[in-house]
Structure 1
Amino acid sequence: MAEPEIKPTVAADITALQGVLDQTGLFPSEMLPEMLAPALAGEGEAFWLTCHMGGAAVGLCYTVPEAMAEGTWNMLALAVRPDLQGQRLGAKLVAAAEARLRQAGQRILIVDTSGTQDFDAARRFYLANGYEEEARIRDFWAPGDDKVTFRKAL
């Protein structure tokens, strides 16, 4: 198996990443070009990273600064093509985002997920990668669906 390569997302990655989104259901893939546009234009601080395997874009990570907070960032999206999940590609994407933030002198990275059973694997993933459950807002997403916030000091 080829070694994964994590790089800033470029326009040429969009089609393959839309396929990742279609396969994972993270969010509607037609939203991706508009969401990526500011980063591709070099506007703002938010950044996207893409995981490449054998030259193909197979995963993404999207991280933004938290408004009105000093050195706190939020990982809004993390996805890896389902046939490649379990190979630590998500962990490599997260580690690359953390390294970039650390190098820039940032302090904290947070991530929100659902408290439902469907998201057990996501919560285990963050715990296994050094995140701690920091907060839980009951019934946030919907009745019976808590918002679970994980935090990691950089």
Structure 2
Amino acid sequence: MTSPIIKQTTSEDIPNLQRVLDGTELFPSEMLPDMLAPALSGETDAFWLTCHCDGEAVGLCYTVPEDLADRTWNMLALAVRPDMQGKRLGAALVSAAEQYLKDKGQRILIVDTSGTDGFALTRKFYAQNGHDEEARIRDFWAEGDDKVIFRKAL
């Protein structure tokens, strides 16, 4: 595997990113084109990054500005194709998103995730990448499924 290349997502990335979504089940892949449309047309400040390895899109990151907050952003989606996980590609995507925001003078990046056992590795990933658990809202997603909010100052 060559070094990953991370860049703004383009419409050409969609088919491979849909396969990433199908493999990770982060959200239904058929939603991706409509979700990407505002960013691709420049209608939003939200941004999508794609991780390419050997010329193929294998991961994505989607980050949006928080409404009514001063230079605070929320990473809403992060996914890497299952067979490519464990190779620090997710960390590279997060780092690229953080650098993009730092370059634009932004202050804070937050990430929401689940408090269930099934998301223990996700929470560990964010902690290992410099994010602090800032808050927990009990039973947010469903009964017994807390919303865990991680924060990183940029």
TM-score range, shorter chain: over 0.9
Q: Which runs of 4+ in 1 moved over 4 A?
A: none
Q: Which residue does 2:113 correspond to in 1?
A: 113
Partner of 2:72: 72
Gaps of 5+ in 2: none
Q: Could you report, residue by residue, the CA deviation over 1:78-116 in whole angstroms, capped at 9, with x for unpaired residues? A: 000001101000000000000000000000000000000
Calculate the TM-score normalised by the size of structure 1. 0.99
Q: Which amino acid aligns with 1:23?
A: G
1:97 matched residue in structure 2: 97
In structure 2, what is the equivalent of residue 63 of structure 1? Answer: 63
1:21 alignment counterpart: 21
**1:122 paired to 2:122:** yes
Identical amino acids, percent of aligned pairs:
71
Q: Which residue of 1 aligns with 2:85?
A: 85
The equivalences for 1:137-148 within 5 A come to: 137-148=137-148
- For 1:46, the equivalent position in structure 2 comes to 46
Cα deviations by residue, 1:11-49 (Å, 9 ceiling, x for unpaired): 000000000000000000000000000000011100000
Letter in 2 for 1:49: L
Secondary structure of residue in 1 paired with 2:31: helix
| Unpaired stretches in structure 1, ≥5 consecutive residues | none
Per the TM alignment, residue 120 of structure 1 is displaced from its structure 2 partner at its CA by 0.3
Amino acid at match of 1:54: D
In 2, Cα distance between equivalents of 1:9 and 1:136 = 31
Query: Aligned to 2:100, what secondary structure does the other structure show?
Result: helix
**Which letter maps to 1:10?**
T
Partners in 1 of 2:104 and 2:35 — Cα distance?
23
Letter in structure 2 aligned against 1:101: L
SS at match of 2:26: coil
